[in-house]
């Protein structure tokens, strides 16, 4: 999808979309705020952290089993999100990621497209990465999953199916995003990346030598979710995230960075408690480092949430157990640092409202996001 084809939606097309259901629901400011004041002019940067599959009880289970405290518990502004997709009460990561990136609900398996136009033949929803890019902000996507996993793809691609790896990769190379880093997807090649103007990297040292403002695509080859480096060539999620901030944070326009901790979900599907809790701790370590940056910076909004819960974790005795190997419809946390205008304490949002609120905190208005891009 070429940026040059992006055209703002017309009023008649908005009515057309509204006719399709409630997923495009009217934007409401938090109860404590006036809509007209819904702008936080201190905020220039956004770091959006998504713990794939992370419900409230994932945090409780980790604290009990690792006998540890979590930085995620220290956020003063905490609410929750109702996760569902357009066609199912229980969402997958594609529709869940699309809600979190684009402010709309779509069908399970779909990535950054409308439920009624899955091939993006006529239109697709602009995602928040594209919105930020258009305003001159630098952008980056970092994940412990493959670069074309459903969550990173929702912030960088528009395809009917999350399994269309070649098409998702091609979309990412056309996206204009400064960098997309994650595990090798088996499809992206050095020559394709370079043809698209992206530096192709595969090692920790190559990542660390990247400079500000360039374009890079990382295909690492070992686990990115462990607390310590899985080998000297492979960074941790925290190392990727800190390097990402380092090469994004020097412009007047600000930056948008999405960071996904993917294996909270993957290890919940297999009910692997030790691996799940380690993934969650690795994600929490990343959040700790991000918060330290944001506190020093003073102009950065940090939002932590999840696309859905996985494993239906339930209290039992003194602990917490998996009761399923699949996703559930349980609400997930929304944790915010940097602005009290995104969510009121204890407020429950629909998943698709989160990126809309981020856009409003950045100063965009409802004519700018969410909107359709006509193709």
CB of 109 to Zn ion, least distance (A): 12
By CB under 5 A, name the one of 260, 265, 285, 307 that touches Zn ion. Answer: 265
CB of 264 to Zn ion, least distance (A): 9
CB of 266 to Zn ion, least distance (A): 7
Cβ nearer to Zn ion, comparing 84 with 357: 84
Q: How many angstroms separate the CA atoms of 65 and 278, rounded? A: 10
Cβ nearer to Zn ion, comparing 158 with 267: 267
Cβ nearer to Zn ion, comparing 249 with 307: 307
Q: How many angstroms separate the CA atoms of 188 and 173, rounded? A: 9
Cβ nearer to Zn ion, comparing 265 with 353: 265
The 3-class SS string of the chain reads: CCHHHCCCCCHHHHHHHHCCCHHHCCCCCCCCCCHHHCCCCCCCEEEEEEECCCCHHHHHHHHHHHCCCCHHHHCCEEEEEECCCCCCCCCCHHHHHHHHHHCCCCCCCCECCECCECCCCCEEECCHHHHHHHCCCEEEEEEEEECCCHHHHHCCCCECCCCCHHHHHHHHHHCCCCEEEEECCCCCCHHHHHHCCCEEECCHHHHHCCCCCCCEEEEECCCCCCCCCCECCECCHHHHHHHHHHHHCCCCCCEEEEEEECHHHHHHHCCCHHHHHHHHHHHHHHHHHHHHHHHHHCCEEEEEECCCEECCCEEECCEEECCCCCEECCCEEEEEECCCCCCCCCCEEECCHHHHHHHHHHCCCCCCCCCEEEC
CB of 145 to Zn ion, least distance (A): 10
Of the candidates 131, 132, 152, which has an alpha carbon nearest to the alpha carbon of residue 141?
152
Cβ nearer to Zn ion, comparing 257 with 264: 264
CB of 93 to Zn ion, least distance (A): 6
Q: Do 330 and 16 meet the contact criterion of CB atoms below 8 Å apart?
A: no
Which single residue brings its beta carbon nearest to Zn ion? 265
Cβ nearer to Zn ion, comparing 33 with 271: 271
CB of 144 to Zn ion, least distance (A): 13
Q: By rule CB under 5 A, what string of x and - marks binding of each residue 212-251 to Zn ion?
A: ----------------------------------------
User: In this chain, which stretch among 21-29, 245-253, 261-269, 336-344 interacts with Zn ion, using CB under 5 A?
Assistant: 261-269
User: In this chain, which stretch among 205-213, 262-270, 277-285, 333-341 interacts with Zn ion, using CB under 5 A?
Assistant: 262-270
> Residues binding Zn ion: what is the number (CB under 5 A)?
1
Cβ nearer to Zn ion, comparing 78 with 263: 263
* Helix pair 237-248, 273-297: axis angle to 10 deg: 20
CB of 312 to Zn ion, least distance (A): 12
Count, residues in the chain: 375
CB of 51 to Zn ion, least distance (A): 12
Cβ nearer to Zn ion, comparing 245 with 259: 259
CB of 253 to Zn ion, least distance (A): 35
Cβ nearer to Zn ion, comparing 159 with 265: 265
Q: Which of positions 188-217 make contact with Zn ion (CB under 5 A)?
A: none
307 contributes a contact to Zn ion by CB under 5 A: no
CB of 305 to Zn ion, least distance (A): 15
Q: How many angstroms separate the CA atoms of 103 and 357, rounded? A: 9
User: In this chain, which stretch among 127-135, 144-152, 265-273, 356-364 interacts with Zn ion, using CB under 5 A?
Assistant: 265-273
Q: Which of positions 47-86 make contact with Zn ion (CB under 5 A)?
A: none
Of the candidates 144, 132, 198, which has an alpha carbon nearest to the alpha carbon of residue 171?
198
Q: Kindly list the residues in this chain that would bind Zn ion in the complex (CB under 5 A).
A: 265
């Amino acid at each position: 999808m070429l940026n040059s084809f992006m055209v703002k939606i017309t009023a008649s097309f908005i009515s057309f979309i509204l006719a399709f259901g409630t997923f495009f629901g009217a934007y409401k400011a938090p109860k404590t705020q006036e809509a007209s004041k819904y702008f936080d002019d201190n905020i220039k940067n956004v770091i959006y952290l998504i713990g794939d599959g992370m419900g409230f009880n994932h945090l409780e289970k980790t604290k009990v089993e690792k006998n540890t405290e979590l930085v995620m518990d220290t956020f003063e502004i905490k609410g929750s999100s109702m996760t569902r997709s357009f066609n199912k009460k229980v969402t997958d990561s594609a529709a869940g990621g699309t809600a979190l990136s684009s402010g709309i609900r779509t069908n399970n398996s779909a990535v950054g497209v409308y439920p009624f136009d899955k091939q993006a033949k006529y239109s697709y929803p602009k995602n928040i990465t594209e919105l930020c890019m258009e305003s001159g902000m630098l952008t980056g996507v970092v994940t412990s999953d493959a670069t074309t996993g459903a969550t990173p793809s929702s912030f960088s691609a528009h395809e009917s199916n999350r399994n269309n790896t070649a098409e998702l990769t091609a979309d990412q190379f056309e996206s204009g995003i400064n960098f997309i880093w994650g595990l090798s997807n088996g499809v992206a090649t050095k020559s394709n990346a370079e043809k698209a103007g992206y530096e192709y990297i595969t090692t920790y040292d190559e990542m660390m030598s990247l400079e500000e403002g360039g374009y890079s695509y990382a295909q690492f080859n070992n686990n990115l979710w462990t607390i310590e480096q899985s080998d000297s060539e492979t960074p941790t999620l925290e190392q990727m995230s800190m390097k990402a901030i380092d090469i994004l944070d020097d412009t007047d326009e600000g930056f948008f960075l999405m960071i996904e901790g993917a294996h909270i979900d993957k290890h919940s599907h297999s009910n692997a408690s030790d691996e799940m809790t380690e993934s969650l701790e690795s994600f929490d370590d990343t959040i700790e480092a991000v918060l330290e940056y944001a506190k020093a910076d003073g102009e950065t909004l940090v939002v932590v949430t999840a696309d859905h819960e996985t494993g239906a974790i339930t209290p039992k005795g003194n602990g917490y157990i998996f009761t399923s190997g699949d996703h559930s419809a349980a609400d997930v946390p929304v944790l915010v640092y940097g602005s009290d205008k995104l969510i009121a304490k204890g407020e429950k949002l629909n998943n698709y409202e989160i990126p809309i609120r981020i856009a409003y905190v950045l100063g965009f208005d409802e004519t700018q996001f969410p909107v359709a891009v006509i193709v």
